[in-house]
Chain A
Amino acid sequence: MGKLLSHRLAVPVVIALLVVALSFAMPSNFYYRVAALVWISALAVIGLNLLMGYAGQVSLGHAGFFGIGAYAVAVLPAQFGLHPLVAALAGAVATAAIAFLVGRPILRLKGHYLAVATLGFGILIAMTISNEAWLTGGPDGMPVERLTLFGWRVRGADTWYWISGGLLVIGAWIACNLVASPTGRALRALHDSEVAARVAGIDVARAKLTVFVISAVYASVAGSTLALVNGFVTPDKANFLHSIELVTMVVLGGMGSILGSLAGAAILVVLPQVLTGFHDYEHMILGLIMMVIMIVLRAGIVPSLAAFFQGRRNK
């Protein structure tokens, strides 16, 4: 029991220490900003990893949920004068409701069929955001009202570093608890064999729907946070390429690994910044690095390294 408790807390504590430690090594605001982007992406990736890595269901439409969260904090304050935090909450609730309605029919599908259906859903959301220009500013995007808390205007890359880092720690903590709960066990069971899960008494459809809704809410909260950090939203964060990027982060970092989600997000956010020096070759080098990582660390960065070090210790 003691071991279980420490295990549930281990990952969020490691992430919290990392957030604190890195803050001492930040040479400029630019670095704070990049790190905040890593925390925010990692939050969305943790959610998607619950769905993909634990329950074994793919979603190529998660950027749609991300977009709903982002546009909620843009549109609701502008149109109805809602406080941005209330708007973010409304976005999360709307996301949960939409995920619930869409998830019921879609999650009956498996494998490639599920992939294409979620892809279609994501495209639908992105198109809606682009087309309803009167509300969303269309393809050009729209500004987001600055966040004010108790009369204090939240500003500065370092402030957002701490806020998004805090959200990431909370997100990781919730995810670790979910994974260690009976629901988490049920998800891993249905991932392995749906029939065996059914005869063990697991309501497979409901378990899938639950994790789909939870993972959608992670994306929505991450979207809201990013919109507030940037002070601006554009439809590209809701579109298909961003969905692919999130899936890539999950696989690269490691399916079924919360720390892996952070590693995957860090690589895909930081590397492009590092590689800008290579100009025309930037994308080629990025692609090459991704391929090499997957070939060498086929289970993803964190699980592969963990297995490697475990193997050495056991020798």
Chain B
Amino acid sequence: MHSTDPLLRVEALRSAYGRIEALHGVSLSVASGEIVALVGGNGAGKTTLLRAISGVQPMTGGSLSFQGRDISRASPHARVAAGIAQVPEGRQIFAPLAIEDNLRLGAYLRKDAEIASDLERVYDLFPILKERRRNPAGGLSGGQQQMLAIGRALMSRPKLLLLDEPSMGLAPVLVDQVFEIIQRLNREDGVTVFLVEQNAFAALSIATRGYVIETGEIAMEGKGAALLADERVREAYLGV
């Protein structure tokens, strides 16, 4: 890995559902230590892009590299092993399984001795999960499920955390809480974050850099604060 290589580089990535192309050549990069936000409206292609990065959505063109190595053809579990963890859209926790089993599944590929201490770290971040760790995850509220989904992703010890609309369906207080946690992970644990959001304000507020995606193409990029101040962004995504 060159020291100048970004952690993640997406180049001219294309992806399609059948004959309908959803991403028309997306290029972006995420450097180690950053929080990068990708904002865009309904159906812009945010989820498709995240799924292509984690490997559960096939790509039809372009390339992906992680830590300088091409991962375009790597299987999803190989990408997890390499250090990419995704918190999928709509959380997708394993509802019938116990909360702790959900978390242990996040560490499925690990064999090291530090799983137990990482579990404690997650319980530190989200005390409610510890209280109810033997209960089925399906009984958690929406916000708690989002925390569980983040905790599960953390259990793989990711270098890069992919978050798909962590604020979706959450009350404003909870949105603030979740974004605070994301910042803490970035600051205290050194996790690089790539975050996809319709809630442009919350996302760009904590982002080092941001991209705007419109109908499968990157329309704008810049520093988080700069995009927040941009007229077009304010009009299109902040409703001001």
A242 contacts chain B at the CB level, 8 A cutoff: no
Contact A196 B93, beta carbon cutoff 8 Å: yes
* A306 contact set on B, CB distance < 8 A: none
B238 contacts chain A at the CB level, 8 A cutoff: no
* B85 contact set on A, CB distance < 8 A: 199
* B75 contact set on A, CB distance < 8 A: 203
* A196 contact set on B, CB distance < 8 A: 88, 92-94
Contact B80 A200, beta carbon cutoff 8 Å: yes
CA distance A258 to B54 in the complex (A): 35
B108 contacts chain A at the CB level, 8 A cutoff: yes
Question: Given A201-B109, A203-B75, A193–B92 Cβ distance below 8 Å?
Answer: yes
Hey, what's the 0/1 contact readout for B12-24 against A, CB within 8 Å counting as 1? 0000000000000
Name B98's closest neighbour in chain A (CB-CB): A185
* A151 contact set on B, CB distance < 8 A: none
Contact A199 B105, beta carbon cutoff 8 Å: no
Contact A198 B104, beta carbon cutoff 8 Å: no
Contact A202 B108, beta carbon cutoff 8 Å: yes
CA distance A157 to B86 in the complex (A): 57
Contact B88 A195, beta carbon cutoff 8 Å: yes
* A186 contact set on B, CB distance < 8 A: 105, 108
Contact B94 A202, beta carbon cutoff 8 Å: no
Name A256's closest neighbour in chain B (CB-CB): B96
Contact-size category for A: 10 to 19
* From B77, B88, B156, residue with most partner A Cβ within 10 Å: B77
Hey, what's the 0/1 contact readout for B95-133 against A, CB within 8 Å counting as 1? 111000100111011000000000000000000000000
Name B104's closest neighbour in chain A (CB-CB): A185
B25 contacts chain A at the CB level, 8 A cutoff: no
Hey, what's the 0/1 contact readout for A212-246 against B, CB within 8 Å counting as 1? 00000000000000000000000000000000000
Contact A188 B76, beta carbon cutoff 8 Å: no
* From B54, B105, B109, B156, residue with most partner A Cβ within 10 Å: B105
CA distance A186 to B109 in the complex (A): 11
CA distance A306 to B152 in the complex (A): 30
* A200 contact set on B, CB distance < 8 A: 80, 105-106, 108, 152, 156
A182 contacts chain B at the CB level, 8 A cutoff: yes
Name A190's closest neighbour in chain B (CB-CB): B94
CA distance A73 to B138 in the complex (A): 47
CA distance A199 to B81 in the complex (A): 10
Name B138's closest neighbour in chain A (CB-CB): A192
* B88 contact set on A, CB distance < 8 A: 195-196, 199
Query: What residues of chain B have their CB less than 8 Å away from a CB belonging to chain A?
Result: 54-56, 75-77, 80-81, 85-86, 88, 92-97, 101, 104-106, 108-109, 152, 156
Query: What residues of chain A have their CB less than 8 Å away from a CB belonging to chain B?
Result: 182, 185-186, 188-189, 192-193, 195-203
Known: A189-B97, A192-B96, A197-B105. 19 other contacts (CB 8 A): A185-B104, A186-B108, A188-B94, A188-B96, A188-B97, A189-B105, A195-B56, A196-B92, A197-B94, A198-B55, A198-B56, A198-B76, A200-B80, A200-B105, A200-B106, A200-B152, A201-B80, A201-B106, A201-B156
